[in-house]
Amino acid sequence: MIIVGAGIVGASFAYHAYQNGVDKITVLSSHLPGDTKQATSNTWGWVNGYASNDKSYATFRLANLNYWPKLINHISNLNYTSKGAFIWDQGEKELQQTIKQHQSWRQSVKISTKSELKKHLPNLINIPPMACFGADDLAIDGVRATKELFKASGSKIIETNVKEIVCESNNVIGVKTDDEIINDDEVIIAAGLGAPKLLSTINIPYEMNSSLGLLVYTKPLPPLLKYPITGFDFHARQDDKGRLIIGGKFDDDSSKEENINDTAEKLIQDMSSRLNYNGDMILDHFTLGKRPLPVDGRPKIGRLVNQKGEKLNGIYLAVMHSGITNAPLAGKLGIDEVLTGKRNNLIRDFSPQKIVTQEESQNV
């Protein structure tokens, strides 16, 4: 089996393929875990079940949230850095509705009152009147998880650019890299934003969107935040090295920022004014990552058809935002489908070439 892409999604496919007895897995990737050009290297790493007004997607996210701890149990050297998260990025009424909706979908979310917030976030200066508490939300180090999944998969990883997918009639026979042709009858494309270009080599038009996410890392600090927090115009969490990882408004696009260094410094200043800490908060470094965004916002996982609507054999696509949340089951259920031909209901609504309107996603 060939997997194109060594981010968290490729790693999950490799791990689950190996678990299912696939013993020859070759991963081809132009960037490796930790490289700044990967989305996985630039992630915030919040695993959660939220997808307002989209039950099908929220169900998939929740299933991933429940599956992550099981996966962690099977992989040595992998753990989450925190459990539980507080969110108050909406007005009170909206937040209450969001909580109610997600409770009705069996998510472990509840309202946290001001006095509870004071207890759990003792270093926060301006306590909001209320917040949503996601009891099972996790924070995961994306690069570490990716490396450990690959390590446990026994796959061979080659740093190379894939130029073309090679097909004969409607059957995949391999890929062409910068250096050679590698033959295989099963190719998984877990190439994030590289997927449209790869698919164009077999005449499949594939659109994806992208936005640029800025995250700043402080130098290590004493324990200040036990839980990730997301307010109206900021999100922050403290990792296991003691660094705060801070972003602005969730999903902000930094591509039009004129002076990114100033914006990074400002995020630190703003955060130091929000937290009770007398020492200096110093910028260590910042990351800028392109989010791989399927056009309708939902993951895209599955087999492809050509422009005549004919099935292509041996090619499987998996691209998504929230890949840290979604990769575990994308890989597990994706590999099940590749090996057995059976599609699990949890991914039923995420066919790669189906774009769902907002209205449709609210009705399924």
Give the interface with ligand FAD as residue ranges (CB under 6 A). 4-10, 28-31, 38-40, 42-46, 142, 161-162, 190-192, 194, 198, 213, 215, 289, 291-292, 319-325
Q: How far is the CB of 37 from ligand FAD (least distance, A)?
A: 6
Q: How far is the CB of 13 from ligand FAD (least distance, A)?
A: 9
Q: Which residue is nearest to ligand FAD (CB)?
A: 194
Smaller CB separation from ligand FAD, 116 or 164: 164
What phi and psi, each to the nearest 5 degrees, are found at residue 242? 90, 5
Smaller CB separation from ligand FAD, 267 or 324: 324
Structural contact between residues 317 and 300, judged by C-beta atoms closer than 8 angstroms: yes
Q: How far is the CB of 190 from ligand FAD (least distance, A)?
A: 5
Q: Whole-angstrom Cα distance, residue 72 to residue 138? A: 12
Q: How far is the CB of 318 from ligand FAD (least distance, A)?
A: 7
Smaller CB separation from ligand FAD, 99 or 301: 301
Contacts of 51 (CB under 8 A, 6+ apart): 57, 58, 61
30: Cα separation from own chain's centroid: 19
266: Cα separation from own chain's centroid: 26
Structural contact between residues 174 and 186, judged by C-beta atoms closer than 8 angstroms: no
What is the rounded (10 degree) CA torsion for 127, 132, 135, 136?
Answer: -120
Smaller CB separation from ligand FAD, 108 or 160: 160
Q: How far is the CB of 114 from ligand FAD (least distance, A)?
A: 26
Query: Helices 8-19 & 323-340, crossing angle to 10 degrees?
Result: 40
Smaller CB separation from ligand FAD, 95 or 191: 191
